[in-house]
A and B are shown apart, each in its own frame.
Chain A
Amino acid sequence: MPAEPEIAGKAAGKWRGRVARVLFLLALGILWESLSRAGVWNELIFPAPGAVIRSLADGIGDGSLPRAVGASMVRLGIGYSISLLIGIPAGMLLGRLRLLDDTVGSLAVGLQALPSICWLPLAVLWFGLSESAMQFVIIMGSLMAITLTVRDGVKTIPTLYLRAAPILGATGWRFYRYVLFPASFPSVMTGAKLGWTFAWRSLMAAELLYVTTGIGSTLMMGRELHDMPLVIAAMIAIIVIGLITDRLVFRLGEDFVHRRWGVG
């Protein structure tokens, strides 16, 4: 079969990429280790890889790291879910209703210019030093991105689908549920991914400024205790969480969109 060498070539390329990546990380680790052995910088501000790994292991062993990650994820999960629940329908309505887009839509565009952490002072005044304040910041950070991405997606749905809908009897809520939502699914995916990134960054910013449980606070605590290995361990944990959600959640969604819609 002529297709086989092509597929085999792709698989080999994938493996070569993976091996290269591992070797690169290894080299980076060795460079790091040798720099810290050379003693150019004080160990207090430039810890050795071993110390960071020990700090990671300790954190996992005594459960403090998973607990912090868990607290952050719960917070993020709630705030992000609310953003999705509001943002997706809102984006679909804005994409369809001109008047709403001219009013609420332009407000959303304006609000998106404001970095979400700027909402923290207001949130603390309104909700006190509470979970609600943090969630408010997450929502304000991700809601506009989700809404506006879905809106833009809805506006570019092919006219053919919109014309096919009413003659197939998809009118009223059925139009939104069975045509508009699936037709805009690729942009819902993009919006969800973008929203997740914004939500995650907003949360980290909020946790750094406002001491509570959570992985961002672990990072801050490390600074206060001058525990550099803990700081770097927390940073690594944050990177790993980001990569896992990107690879496992969004990559799967994007592959699905690509297969079915042939785009994305």
Chain B
Amino acid sequence: MAVVELKKVAKVFASQAGRLTVLVDIDLEVADGEFLCVVGPSGCGKSTLLNLIAGFERPSSGEIVVNGQPVTGPSPSRFVIFQEPALFPWLNVYQNVVFGLRMAGVDPSEQQDKAHALLKAVHLSKFAQAWVTEISGGMKQRVAIARALAMDPDILLMDEPFAALDAQTRDMLHEVLEEVYQQTSKTIVFVTHNVREAVRLGSRVILMSGQEGRIIEQFPVHLPRNRYLEDVEVVTIASRIRDKLRQEVLRSSGEEGEHAG
């Protein structure tokens, strides 16, 4: 059953330079428990797509339906993990993790149990009392993940969450995310630049085109889970997608050349 449905969705931004059509005719269904990865050239509208599902932006036309309900705005059931951690600097690590629970009026002892379990899962138990300005970028992103999981959303929307991290931290967070996905079978939409990351994590990868903002190809990933970035099968599928992506990047920069010339 489709949890997220986009029907003929288009997004046009109006700016001083004129109207910018970012997404056209997007038809997309995300099944319950699916791990969908979205790749595409920079500026093709991946973040816009995620923001539409999150409810931060409204579609210019078409409809977005989540669990049978049209999306009218942001909701804790569709939690977003941004590229930058977006933690609140006036709270410490622990307070950031329980913030959503506090807003929901969850009983304090339950807040505590949940937060401790989550901080342990992201290997940050020792830093519960640290201030946000005192921890590294990778640690911040781990706190952001713990904060998201505390909300126990139906759908996790992730916008290049690991793009700014070093390889070791990223590998560790892949494992954390893998474990969460297998235990909770949440529906996840994951945007990334990194094709191999998409194949390592996703059960399906969609490729977006650079110019007219469409979904041009879909790649189901039928590999058993607990994959590694270095797995031969992962590398093989990734190189197939990367070839397509490269054509796409070339094509879109070629078109730009024509416009300029």
Contacts and interface: CB of A to CB of B under 8 A. Distances in A.
B90 A168 contact: no
A174 interface: yes
A16 interface: no
Interface in A215-264: 259-262
Interface in A132-151: none
A224 B54 CA distance: 71
A68 to B, nearest CB: 40
Contact of A179 (B78, B88, B133): B88
B84 interface: yes
Interface residues of B, number: 26
Interface in A177-224: 178-179, 182-183, 185
Contacts of B195: none
Given A167-B80, A169-B104, A170-B103, A161 B90 contact: no
B74 interface: yes
B90 A260 contact: yes
B86 A164 contact: yes
A98 interface: no
A121 to B, nearest CB: 44
A176 to B, nearest CB: 13
A97 B133 CA distance: 31
B62 interface: no
A260 B78 CA distance: 29
Nearest to B102: A178
Interface in B102-151: 102-104, 131, 133, 147, 151
B56 interface: yes
A178 B54 contact: no
Interface of A is mostly: helix
Leading 6 A-B pairs by shortest Cβ distance: A169-B103, A160-B86, A168-B100, A166-B74, A182-B90, A164-B86
A183 B133 contact: no
Contact of A261 (B86, B89, B103): B89
- Of B82, B103, B153, most buried by chain A (CB within 10 Å of CB) is B103
B76 A169 contact: yes
Nearest to B91: A182
Interface in A155-172: 158, 160-161, 163-164, 166-170
A178 B100 CA distance: 11
Contacts of B80: 163-164, 167
A168 B81 CA distance: 11
A160 B102 CA distance: 20
Given A164-B86, A183-B88, A183-B90, 9 more contacts: A158-B86, A163-B74, A166-B74, A166-B76, A167-B153, A168-B99, A168-B100, A168-B151, A179-B88
B73 interface: yes
B75 interface: yes
9 contacts: A158-B86, A160-B86, A164-B82, A167-B75, A167-B100, A167-B153, A168-B76, A260-B90, A262-B133
Interface in A47-101: none
Given A169-B76, A262-B133, A163 B103 contact: no
B103 A168 contact: yes
A160 B82 contact: yes
B35 interface: no
Given A169-B104, A170-B103, A178-B103, A163 B131 contact: no
